[in-house]
Amino acid sequence: MYDVIIVGGGASGLACALTLVSSRGRGWSWAEDKKYLIFDKNESDLHKAYLKNVPGLQPMRGTELLQVIRKQIEEWGGVEFLQEKVVEIRRDGEAYRVITEEGKEYVGRYVVLAGGFKEFSIKGIDFEVLENPKSPKPGRVMIKHENYEVMPNLFVVGTLAGISSHFTSCAGSGVEVAVEILSRMAGKRIVIHDVPED
């Protein structure tokens, strides 16, 4: 059983994961043993990007930025990465069963959909798929949600949530959902800030 399963390893999925794992090592007993899983097929549109207008970031290729974020996540520990395609999600009591193309099943208390807006073909739950109103290209999709929540403890982030396709917009939505999930785990509102030790 995973605490959170994230489907998609682009800007929003990785930002969500980084925020989740950064709750470790802060003296919060409820955060220490959490297990996270990311399905990442290395298909993020960031692989084609060159980022010159991200606040505070020197210009770099999107592929390089994805590697930097992934390394940050791995330094915290507690996250497993799998290169499998998710084809179905089913409700399983208070959790969700995530099924891959290979027929493997993974169970998570929370699920975050971060798979981009080119298509959405995951079966099992009656997702309401709409045209994405913020896409500059036709045929892009989003999943209907309320404050990023599609149904209890199942969230959507990034362009699949109807967010603008800019890196900072997508990453911000992933952080927002991670903070909501952590707050539910803690049983109170939390925000994660880091300050210098000196």
The domain limits of the chain are 2-186
Whether 175 contacts 193, CB under 8 Å: no
Whether 116 contacts 122, CB under 8 Å: no
Residue 92: Cβ within 10 Å count: 12
The share of the chain scoring above pLDDT 90, in percent, equals: 65
Q: pLDDT (tens digit, 9 = 90+) per residue, 120-145?
A: 889 999 899 888 887 777 888 889 99
Q: What pTM, to 2 d.p., does this model score? A: 0.94
Q: What is the pLDDT of residue 109?
A: 98
Q: Which residue has the higher pLDDT, 101 or 62?
A: 101
Q: What mean pLDDT is predicted for residues 70-88?
A: 94
Q: What is the pLDDT of residue 132?
A: 84
Let me know if domain 2-186 sits in CATH 3.40.50.300.
Answer: no
CA pair distance 35, 50, nearest whole angstrom: 32
Residue with structure tokens 């990785």? Answer: 14
